[in-house]
Structure 1
Amino acid sequence: MNLKVGDFVTRKSYGNDLLFRVSKIDQQSVIIVGEELRLIADAPASDLLLVTESEKSSRKIEENKIEENCYRLFRQDRRLTRHRNEYEMTGGYKSKSSYFELPGRILHIDGDPVYLKKCTDLYEKLGVPIYGVHMQEKEMPLQIASLLEMVRPDILVITGHDAYMRSKGEQNEVKAYRNTKFFAEAVREARKFEPHMDHLVIFAGACQSYFETLIRAGANFASSPERINIHALDPVYIAAKVSLTPFMDSVSIWELLKNTLTGEKGLGGIETKGLLRRGMPIKNDDEDLDTRKKER
């Protein structure tokens, strides 16, 4: 089998359960990354099965159904929040005054360019202001301060690929994780820039990341409490929920996790305030301020 970078494969030793992309080919092994899950692994070429276009399409159809259901739940929750906002901003519908919303701005740093594109597309679909950057995980601690200074976000997402490597140590040892140490260092650097956890809300981690280390480093939300794989889009739903929750309200952790694709086994966090600011009035239906119109 002649593999090349970008091919889609599954692992025979794992029952061909997950779909991977070939990221790098070495003489000894092949580096593969999850197509939908934020997992990175290496495997011998003999353990990989090339996926046909028809099988890939079939898997994509099932995955799209899961993602669409999650998106539907998020939109449903968003509509309820908006109805409540309208009630509050119009004095219980007694006033016809119009109002506008300013969602929290997100800086999303991702170790995978394909995932970053998927995430930025979803942010835009949800009507959330986003600035996306792709860079390797090991570069994140070195670049985070300058990016924060340039973008001045309300929410920071630090993600990419990770994996717990049993051969490297126990679950409570950072050295046993492929990229957790880089995520944690980036979080600590971000906290030097903004220590207040409600002024800069941070999500950090990927598949199987060392959750406790990331929370201790200063993240509001992180993966993965049960060291399981998380979906590529899970960080988006967490960041978007914080961005679109009024700043006078706390983000319900349970409400937050139920709208993700992975849930509480893969994601967790601490009490955090929302970052949506509401204002009024809108003059002449000012589209520059009425950010609500941008959500599709």
Structure 2
Amino acid sequence: MNLMTGMLVTRYSYQHDIVFRVKHINGDKVLLHGEDIRLEADAPVEDLRILPEDDVRKREEEIKEKEEYSYRLFRQDYQLMKEKKDYEYNKEKPRSIQRFQLPVKVLHIDGDRLYLKKCIDLYQRLGLQVHGVYVNEKDLPFEIDALIQKIQPEIMVITGHDAYSGSKGNKKDLAAYRNTRFFVEAVRQARTWSPNLDQLVIFAGGACQSHFESLIRAGGANFASSPDRVNIHALDPVYVVAKVAYTPFMEKVDVYDVLRNTLTGEKGLGGMETRGLYRTGLPYVETK
């Protein structure tokens, strides 16, 4: 088999359940990254099947359909929130006075360049201001302070790859996870800058099988993966961020409503009640 980096493959041993992209080849061992879900895995070359072109096209159509469905759900929620806000404002204030909105600043730190680009494209489609930075998971604790000081975000996403290894301990043992400890330490450091969960909203965790309890309780994240140790979709963090960014700051973000718009749901994501960050002011003054 003429296997090369960048190719899409599936694994015979797992009945071709997940599509991976070949990240690195070392002899007969191959490092794989999930194409749509955030999963990192190793596999021998003989266990891999190169995805045929027809399957690639079919898969792309199915994924696009799922992503469009989540996008439509979010847009419906956003429209309802906007109509409610406009109604309350017009009932109490003179209609001649125009409002303005303060954009929410998002810092998205990702351990995968390809996923980072996909996420940034969706942030822009949703009208959110985002600063995207690639940082290897192991370097997160060393980079987080400088990035927060430079960007001064209201929302921060710290994500990348992770994995649980049963040979290193049970699912409650933090040492059994590939990168969760780096996410936890990064969140802890971020919380030294902003201890208040409503002033800096944090989504943290790798895509697959991160130690959810540590990220929420020990780290201090508002939202995290993965309660049931399942894989999450690459774009799920963006929908969580968008829900927080477009919820008025006098209202709380219902965790169930957040998860409803994601592609993974409550098995892969969870979190704490959090105040929204959408703020308006008046009067609107045009800038030249």
TM-score, normalised on structure 1?
A: 0.93
Tell me the equivalent position of 1:291: none
1:194 and 2:191 are equivalent in the alignment? no
1:215 and 2:228 are equivalent in the alignment? no
Tell me the equivalent position of 2:5: 5
SS in 1 for 2:10: strand
User: Which of residues 230, 250, 253 in structure 1 aligns to 2:252?
Assistant: 250
Q: Partners of 1:147 and 1:89 in 2: how far apart?
A: 37
Any idea what the Cα deviations from partners look like across 1:184-218, whole Å, max 9, x if unmatched? 11111111121111111100012111100100211
Any idea what the Cα deviations from partners look like across 1:139-161, whole Å, max 9, x if unmatched? 11100000000000000100011
CA contact (8 A) 1:144 1:186 kept: yes
**Within 5 Å, which residues of 2 pair with 1:23-42?**
23-42=23-42
Shift of 1:93: 7.7
Unaligned runs of 5+ in 1: 289-296
Tell me the equivalent position of 1:129: 129
Any idea what the Cα deviations from partners look like across 1:112-171, whole Å, max 9, x if unmatched? 111000100100110111000011101111000000000000001000111111122100
User: Which of residues 231, 234, 242 in structure 2 aligns to 1:232?
Assistant: 234
Tell me the equivalent position of 2:274: 272
Shift of 1:179: 1.0
Shift of 1:98: 1.9
Q: Partners of 1:100 and 1:12 in 2: how far apart?
A: 55
CA contact (8 A) 1:89 1:99 kept: no
Q: Partners of 2:243 and 2:103 in 1: how far apart?
A: 10
Q: Which shifted more, 84-93 or 126-135?
A: 84-93
Shift of 1:96: 3.5
Q: Partners of 1:54 and 1:261 in 2: how far apart?
A: 24
**Within 5 Å, which residues of 2 pair with 1:1-296?**
1-91=1-91, 95-205=95-205, 206-216=207-217, 217-284=219-286
Q: Partners of 2:188 and 2:270 in 1: how far apart?
A: 18
Shift of 1:274: 0.6
Question: In structure 2, what residue type is equivalent to 1:153?
Answer: P
Q: Partners of 2:29 and 2:139 in 1: how far apart?
A: 24
Q: Partners of 1:236 and 1:82 in 2: how far apart?
A: 19
> How large is the Cα RMSD of the aligned pairs?
1.4
Shift of 1:279: 1.1
SS in 1 for 2:80: helix
SS in 1 for 2:91: coil
Q: Partners of 1:204 and 1:283 in 2: how far apart?
A: 37
Question: In structure 1, what residue type is equivalent to 2:209?
Answer: Q
Q: Partners of 1:248 and 1:149 in 2: how far apart?
A: 27
Q: Partners of 1:122 and 1:157 in 2: how far apart?
A: 14
TM-score, normalised on structure 2?
A: 0.96
Q: Which shifted more, 125-134 or 27-36?
A: 27-36
CA contact (8 A) 1:87 1:93 kept: no
Aligned residues: 286
CA contact (8 A) 1:21 1:34 kept: yes
Q: Partners of 2:126 and 2:257 in 1: how far apart?
A: 17
Unaligned runs of 5+ in 2: none
SS in 2 for 1:91: helix
Structure 1 40/30 Cα, relative in aligned 2: closer, same or farther at 3 Å? same
Q: Partners of 1:96 and 1:254 in 2: how far apart?
A: 37
